[in-house]
Structure 1
Amino acid sequence: MKKLIKYLSLVGIGAIALNSCSDDDIIQLDPQNYSTPKITTTASTAELSEETQVETAFNFEWSAADYGVTTPPKYDIEVIAENGSFDNAKILGSTQDLAYAVSGKDLNSFVVESLGLVPNVETTINYRIVSYLGTHKAEKLFSETKSITLTPFSTDLSTPWGLVGGATVNGWNGPDVQFWKTTTPGVLEAYANLSPDSDGKMEFKIRKNNEWVEDFGGTVTATTDNGFSGTLAAGGSNIVAPKAGNYKITIDLNNLTFTAVLFQWGIVGDATPNGWDGPDAQVLSFDGTKEIWYFNGAVLKDGEIKFRQNDKWEIDYGQGATPGTLIEKTGSNIPVKAGTYDVIMDLKNLTYTLTPVQ
């Protein structure tokens, strides 16, 4: 018979706290009466594709583990490649429920980035359900192992399409501002600063492979304080931006439409040239090959920074519980020493790096 502190999350507080516990704080556990979780999912395949990535690709289901106590267990879904070992398993998800649904996008990213599977090659992964008690994962129990057959798709968001024109940073000769895939096939996004050229014009077009073999122009049909939108036409007229600024430009090649919305991520704080009031001087660029936002060569002073969207405090990220991690809204100011840095903000993994430039 085992004894376990009722409030398992307090196990690590120390011997003094343990010695002060009464008999009412002790749970009697009998391993002979444990019941392991059992997988009830019958499916053994997952369909992964760019077209269906927002849909549920696989639903993990299992029966409850039983420790003979009222404290509900928690569960991890451990996954390995076909020839891997559970000693090196990756955790796909954690829950107190008896089911875990994962989208095609999240499952695909997991098997490619965490398990190292090769896109466009059919393969098999193995998984099991692990139950445990408390935050310290005491008394682990393991289900049987089952398999899933799947074919990952590439996680590279690159496309052959780009934004070109006098309003863009590289003018009409390019190289073009990259458009990136979204979760909707045929709908692409680019992040660009649009400003007047030497003639005071703000014109651009969309073209493929940095060439004029295939291109789209268009017409602005609506404007707001926050952006503009319109229609696309193959080989059409230059699109005229009504207002300078940093934009997220979305094109829909299925319906031949576009929208442009003022959008940016910037670095703000007393370590930056414009202080906490901004405007944010270091505007980050997007790299869809890594799904990160970055700024190379940010000159910072002794002080603190945060990351915020659109020069406002509606959406911002600061430091999480440990340096290098990010948390929205409630994050702490990030301390910085004077110097020049390459900055990366990773909103997918909620991390940041500040690398000194030598």
Structure 2
Amino acid sequence: MKKLIILLLSIVSIALISSCDKGELGPVANTTDPGTPSLEAPNSGQSYTLTEGEAENTLMTVEWTEPDFGFSAAPTYSIQIAEAGSDSGFVSLGTTQETSFDVVVKAFNNLLLKEKFAANNTHALDLRVSASISDSVTKAVSEPVSISVTPYLVEVNYPKIYVPGGYQSSSGYTTNWEPADAPPLFSVNDDDNYEGYVYIANGGSQYKFTAERNWQDGDWGTSGTEGELESPGNNIVASSSGYYKMNVNLNDLTYSTEVTDWAVTGSATPNGWAGDNTADHDMTYDPQTKVWSLDLSLSAGELKFRANDAWELAYGDVNGNGRLDTENENNIAVEESGNYTIILDLSDAPYTYELQKN
């Protein structure tokens, strides 16, 4: 009898579950194979040359069809680009919940430069759209279209602080203790971390940092503890003469300095790559032009700049655009053999160089 009652209860439970309206369960997302958005514009093969004069204009309107997630949804779309043929490395141009997106010249150009696409060079890119409704639902990603884009060079006005001091007149910076003539330090990431190079001709010279090219807007000096700043603080004393790399962090009020001497090394140089038994080719600093230079016979090959006969501080040019960086695989190519004047300019940001064939 007990077994019969259990059997009847089971049958009733199954019947009740089967009789429920499926609509009461709500929509069920197609989490394994959502429909894919299809790009309708631009067409594959389109070519764009970006210009600063059209910076605020719309370059193109990206358009696509809605994906099918199996129910009515409002996806967030991310418009993405990557180097052509990349399976990864896509970065977003922007997001929207519409099925179109206007790409503005300036924003596109800035993204390309940020992602290390060299200015004034043509780059093959893949463009795609990714649709998402939640972390638990598989994103719907369009097939990419191929486009080519040539970005333009932008001169960025980086935030600056300044280094006035008693060293200025003897070091090529005109008037002592005059912020208007003082060399700047730059915050290239706009994060209150500043870096730059300052030549100090005489050891024992004193200096401070100012927020602007005046004393009225604030200044910083040493707190009395090496490497620590306070406002206004005391004068900082240069321990020796030299070409100083200076770093200032205004977030935690710290600073550091390092004297640097610059040289060239590489397979293109007569000595080849520097090592334990191979010397660099030393450069000479000119306080008037504020650049390092060297006349040297080069062969076809590669070179880099490095400080203090070591690799802890070295610069190359990953994009081949004359702007120095510390990226990996950034050796500078020398295409033709010959005698060159090599110029290194660390007085402004971004740091630059020239290879002038004589």
Could you say which TM-score interval applies, normalised by the shorter chain?
Answer: 0.3 to 0.5
TM-score under structure 1 normalisation?
A: 0.45
TM-score under structure 2 normalisation?
A: 0.45
Of structures 1 and 2, the larger Rg is shown by 2
Determine which structure has the larger strand proportion and give its number: 1
